[in-house]
Structure 1
Amino acid sequence: MFNEFWGLGFALLNFTALLVMYRLFGRTGLFAWVAISTILANIQVTKTIEIIGLTATLGNSLYASTFLATDILNEKYGRKDAQKAVWLGFSSLVIMMIAMQFALQFQPAESDFAQGALATIFGLIPRIALGSMIAYIASQLLDVHIFTLLKKLFPKDSQFWIRNNGSTMISQLLDTLIFTVIAFYGTFPFNVWLQIFISTYILKFIVAALDTPFGYLAKKITPQEEKQVDKCLNSSPMQRQPELRK
C-alpha cells in the first residue's frame, strides 16, 4: 500500500503547489507550471511502478495537473490563454528533447559518473517525447475545446466540476491511447502494454476527480499581481476624482 498512499500524497502536493504558483504569480505561474510539469512528467514516465495492483508509469498525477492548469486559465481568463499554455508546454518539451540529445553526444570525462544514467533515461526520450508531443497537443487542444463547449452548456459556477471533469476525462482517454501506443507498444508484451494503458487511464481518471476541489479553490483566489493592479487602479487620480468633487 506504500505506493498508493505515496501516490495520493504526491498528487495532493502537485495540486497544492499549482495553487501556490497561481497565488504568487497569477496566470504567469500557471504558464510556468504547465512548462515545468510537462518536462518533469516526461522524465518520470520512464519509470514503471506497481499501484492498485496494476503496472503503471510514473508521472501521471504531475502530467494530469497540466489539464487543471489549462482549465483554470480557460475558466478565469478565456480560451486563448489556455491554448497559449498548451503551446508553451509543447515548446518546452521540444526544447528539452533537443537539448538533452545534444548533451548525450558529448564525450564524457574519465571521472564522469552521470553519462550512463543520463543515457538510460534520455536515450528513451525521443520515442517517449514523440508519443507525448502528439498525445499532448491532441488531448490538450481537445480539452480546451470541450471545456469551452461545456462552459456554454453549463455556465454556472457550481457546474465547474462538470466542465473540469468532463473535458479532462475525455481528453485524458485520447492522451493515454496515443501516448501508450507510440511510446510503449512493441516495447512491452501486449498484456503488459494493455495493463499500462488501463492503469494509466484509471490513475488519470482518479486524479481528474481529485483535482476538482483545487479548481474551485483557484476560482476564489485573487493572485497577488492582480491585487496590486486593482490597488493601483483604485488609487489612481481618475478613480479618486469623484471623491474630490464631493
Structure 2
Amino acid sequence: MSQARFEVPGPRAFALAVAAMAAVVAGSNYLVQFPINDWLTWGALSYPVAFLVTDLLNRRYGPAAARKVAWVGFAIAVLASLFVATPRIALASGTAFLCAQMLDIHVFDRLRAGRWWRAPLISGACAAALDTVLFFALAFGGTGAPWPTWVAGDLLVKLAVNAGLLAPFRALMWNLGRPLPASRG
C-alpha cells in the first residue's frame, strides 16, 4: 500500500465529495427501479460515477479520506434512498455500496503507483462487479424480476461507463495536483 502522506480534505472539499457521493447513489437507487429492457436498468448509467468520486478522492487525499467519504456518503444515501426507493432497494444498495467502495479503495490504493489509468480502471471494474451482483441479488432475489439478466446487462454497461470515465478522471486528476511528499524529519 501507499506510504505517501496525503493532505486532509478541507470542510468544503469533504462536504462536496459527500454530497456528490450521496446524490449519485440516491439517484441511481431511484433510476434502478426503471428497467430500460429485460437486461438493463437506468441505474447502470449513473452508478459508476460513485467510483469516479472515490477514485479522485483516493488519488488526491488517500485511502483514509476516501473511506471516510464513503461511510458518510453511505449513511446519507441510504436515508435519501428511503424516500426515492423501496426500503429493500435502499438496504441492498447500502450493503452493496459499502462492500464495493471498500474494495474499490483497497484495489485503487494497491495500484496507485502504476500507470494513471490502471488503478481507476481495474478498481472500478472489480467494484462494479461486486456491487452489481450483490445489489441485484439482495434487492430483487425471490421477487420474480429478471434480476440475473439485469446483472449481466447492467454490469456490461457499468464496465463500459467505467472505461469511459477514464478521460474525466484524467482531466480532473491533473487539476487536483499530487499528494504531499513525505516529511523529511
Task: Give the TM-score normalised by structure 1.
Answer: 0.63
Rg comparison, structure with higher value: 1
Q: Which runs of 5+ in 1 are unaligned?
A: 1-24, 101-120, 224-246
1:136 match: 97
Once residues 116 and 14 of structure 2 are traced to their aligned partners in structure 1, the CA distance between those partners, rounded to angstroms, is 19
Q: 2:60 aligns with which of 64, 67, 76?
A: 76
Contact 1:27-1:73 at 8 Å conserved across structures: no
Once residues 219 and 97 of structure 1 are traced to their aligned partners in structure 2, the CA distance between those partners, rounded to angstroms, is 29
1:26 shift after superposition? 4.4
SS in structure 1 at match of 2:47: helix
Q: What pairs up with 1:1-246 in 2 under 5 angstroms?
A: 26=13, 28-50=15-37, 55-97=39-81, 100=83, 122=85, 125-151=86-112, 155-156=113-114, 159-188=115-144, 192-222=146-176
Flag the 1:78–1:195 CA change in 2: closer, same or farther, 3 A.
Answer: same
SS in structure 2 at match of 1:32: helix
The letter for the 2-side match of 1:60 is A
Question: Whose relative contact order is higher, 1 or 2, with alpha carbons under 8 Å and at least 6 apart?
Answer: 2
Contact 1:147-1:167 at 8 Å conserved across structures: yes
1:56 shift after superposition? 1.0
The structure where helix makes up a greater share of residues is 1
Once residues 78 and 148 of structure 2 are traced to their aligned partners in structure 1, the CA distance between those partners, rounded to angstroms, is 27
Q: Deviations 1:18-51 (Å, cap 9, x if unpaired)?
A: xxxxxxx64542322111111111111111103x
Once residues 177 and 220 of structure 1 are traced to their aligned partners in structure 2, the CA distance between those partners, rounded to angstroms, is 33
Contact 1:38-1:92 at 8 Å conserved across structures: no
Percent of residue pairs identical: 30
Count of aligned residue pairs for this structure pair: 166
Once residues 81 and 22 of structure 2 are traced to their aligned partners in structure 1, the CA distance between those partners, rounded to angstroms, is 13
Once residues 28 and 160 of structure 1 are traced to their aligned partners in structure 2, the CA distance between those partners, rounded to angstroms, is 26
Contact 2:26-2:78 at 8 Å conserved across structures: no
